[in-house]
Amino acid sequence: MATLLRKIGLIRLHNRDTEDPKHHHNHRGGGGGQQSASLRGKGGAKSGGHKPQQQQHPAGGAGDASPGPGKGKGKRAAELAQRDKPPQPAAGAAGAASGGGPRERAAGARAGPGPAAAAAAAAAGGSLVPAARQQHCTQVRSRRLMKELQDIARLSDRFISVELVDESLFDWNVKLHQVDKDSVLWQDMKETNTEFILLNLTFPDNFPFSPPFMRVLSPRLENGYVLDGGAICMELLTPRGWSSAYTVEAVMRQFAASLVKGQGRICRKAGKSKKSFSRKEAEATFKSLVKTHEKYGWVTPPVSDG
């Protein structure tokens, strides 16, 4: 058995020596320093047959601590080019204005319209909303006034009658044919052969949610809450006192009652009785009385305020 083991060891040594003659030479020479030198030489010989690989470093990383002259100039040129580059428009505006390629147009579509386009769209929408609202208000006003005309035409006592001014549905001349027959005003009407009291009503765009403007045209009246220009002092004719439930017939009946309550009379003074009321004077007087009543309420104001 010992003889067999020695033979196997000799065979291994023989194979190793025949496979690597340099190793065999170093083995025969001995010495740890020679073996290390042989190994270094062997590693150099093996690496000499291949091209050296360049070490790669990421751009701007720690390995690029000392850039070459070319890199420094390139970086400086890039900074100057970026500084001199003109400002870019908004994505939506650029895509629409330049008409670029598909990518640019798609980017502009995703970004949405620019500020100018948004402002134009808002302006267009703003002009459409009031127009539609005005049309709706006109329809509501027209339907209400048509119904009012029909109801007045069906009155059995012929309390009032209506004539359209220049065939306008929104401008009425209303004739008040009757007041309290026990009043002095009714007596004046009989003595002066006055068949009716003529009034004018104009209806605003937002009627019936705002009151009509109402004034006396003829005859010229005194007292009875009728003021300069034919303006009428009635709370229900003001925005604060008005209700959309009020009808023209109800307003006229209230006016007839206020004439009697305020001791209204037909003016018979020479010269003054023939002077007609004017709309401009009536509007100015009405604005003044509304302002006064908003300050003091619907009570008799101080003499200093007229």
Give the model's pLDDT for residue 247.
Answer: 96
pLDDT tens-digit series, residues 195-250: 999 999 999 999 999 999 999 999 999 999 999 999 999 999 999 999 999 999 99
Q: What CATH fold (topology level) applies to the domain 136-297?
A: Ubiquitin Conjugating Enzyme (3.10.110)
| Neighbouring C-beta atoms of residue 214, cutoff 10 Å | 23
- The strand pairing partners of 226, in sequence order, are 232
Predicted local distance difference test score (pLDDT) of residue 294: 83
Q: What is the pLDDT at residue 64?
A: 44
10 CB burial (10 A radius; 0-12, 13-18, 19+):
exposed
Residue 268: CB atoms within 10 A of its CB come to 13
What's the predicted TM-score (pTM) here?
Answer: 0.56
pLDDT of res. 218: 93
Domain boundaries, the chain: 136-297
CA distance 175 to 167: 16
Percent of the chain that is helix, strand, coil (3-state, to 5): 55, 10, 35
Give catalytic residues, as residue numbers.
233
What pLDDT is attached to residue 63? 42
pLDDT in the model for residue 277: 83
- At 135 the pLDDT is 82
Handedness of CA 27, 29, 33, 34 (dihedral sign): negative
Alpha carbon of 163 to those of 112, 160, 167, 200, 230: distances in Å?
57, 10, 8, 10, 19
Model pLDDT, residue 163: 96
Residue 69's SS3 state is: helix
Whole-number Cα distances in Å, 47 to 38, 40, 153, 163: 14, 11, 120, 118
Which residues, including other chains, have CB under 8 Å from residue 163's CB and lie 6 or more apart?
A: 172, 173, 175
Give me the pLDDT at residue 296, please. Answer: 80
Residues of the chain with pLDDT under 50: 23-39, 41-67, 69, 89-99, 108-109, 111, 121, 300-306
pLDDT, residue 138, reads: 87
182-199 burial code (b ≥16 CB/10 A, e <16): ebebbebbeeeeeebbbb
